[in-house]
Amino acid sequence: MPRDRFEREIDYLRISLTDHCNLRCVYCMPLTEVSYAPPDTALTPEEIERIVTAATDIGFRKVRLTGGEPTLRPDLVDIVKRVARVPGIQDVAMTTNGILLSRMAVTLKRAGLNRVNIHVDTMNPERLSRLMRWGKLADIQRGIDAAIDAGLTPLKLNCVVTKGFNEEDVVDMARLTVEHDWHVRFIELMPLGGGECAKVSVERYVSNVDTKRRIEEALGPLELLTPTNPSDESKNFRLASAAGVVGFISPVSEPYCGSCNRMRLTSDGRFHLCLLKDDEVDVLAAVRRGADRAELGAILLRAVASKPTGHTLADGRSTLDRSMHHLGG
């Protein structure tokens, strides 16, 4: 398993399949003048398979498919099949808004997808459509139901808490774990991209310290669970007698950079070294000129060796070249 210069074991590849999305969440994508990668730079299923194969050669074991919104890729099932069949890959997961999942959950499961995280910021339909613009709760709920029926579990729901939009809804979101064996995770806003969405992320930021306090005041104490994975970015808790888990992902108030095990591959073929920085290593050019597994693996090892540690949000610095929809979290 590859280690970076800070002795972190890096074995988890997050692959952005597209920077397009069928939502326009206020903290992620503007309604107009959205920046997209050129279409001819999009990695093909075969190219993705080659990169994943090279990654397993050097010790990568887990893959997550993200976006933008990955279900917008018409060749998603083919991608899942190719990734899942690579020897050495132990887990294939996907992060999605769930809107299109009801029509493809079973097929994706059969193709080799193990589980999904579904992004839903509130279960209030009016506030959801205001925050996750173009989104309808009924569509996402159908996606949740389809994921459960297909066995894409354990199901995780990702809720980005945004001041003035959904901070009061965190209690109802956490309450879902009482009867359901779901993981409901609350995520702090991160200012990526330097545009209007980054401004929203700064002005509408809610600390998970406040979110946890609000949940406990309404539902009682949260019991801290013993970590089962040292690289889990979520600090996990359980409400009394609850079936599921309440998690807090706190990159701003409680950074977890020291245990990061992730490498990100953008949809236009670059290894993005840290979510909150602009450092990247190009792999697309090597793939397009027919580089073999050894060369692709060497490029990935160079990217791993260059990974930084610690973000600079406290100094007011984050990514300028990439927004969240380019990176998939």
pLDDT value, residue 310:
75
- β-partners of residue 118 are 96, 157
Measured CA to CA, the distance from residue 71 to residue 205 in angstroms comes to 28
Beta strands in the chain (DSSP E): 12-16, 24-25, 62-66, 91-96, 115-119, 132-133, 156-160, 183-187, 222-224, 235-239, 245-249, 262-265, 270-272, 280-282
pLDDT exceeding 90 applies to what percent of the chain?
85
Give the mean pLDDT of the chain: 95
Give pLDDT, residue 316: 67
Q: What is the pLDDT of residues 185-235, one digit of tens each?
A: 999 998 888 889 989 999 999 999 999 999 999 999 999 999 988 889 999
In this prediction, residue 4 carries a pLDDT of 92
Q: What is the mean pLDDT of residues 313-326?
A: 77
- What pLDDT score was predicted for residue 280? 95
Predicted local distance difference test score (pLDDT) of residue 321: 78
269 confidence band (pLDDT: 50, 70, 90):
very high
pTM comes to 0.95
Q: Amino acid identity, residue 168?
A: E
Q: How confident is residue 257, by pLDDT bands cut at 50, 70 and 90? A: confident
Q: Which amino acid is at 221?
A: P
Rounded mean pLDDT, 302-314: 85
Domains of the chain: 12-327 (3.20.20.70)
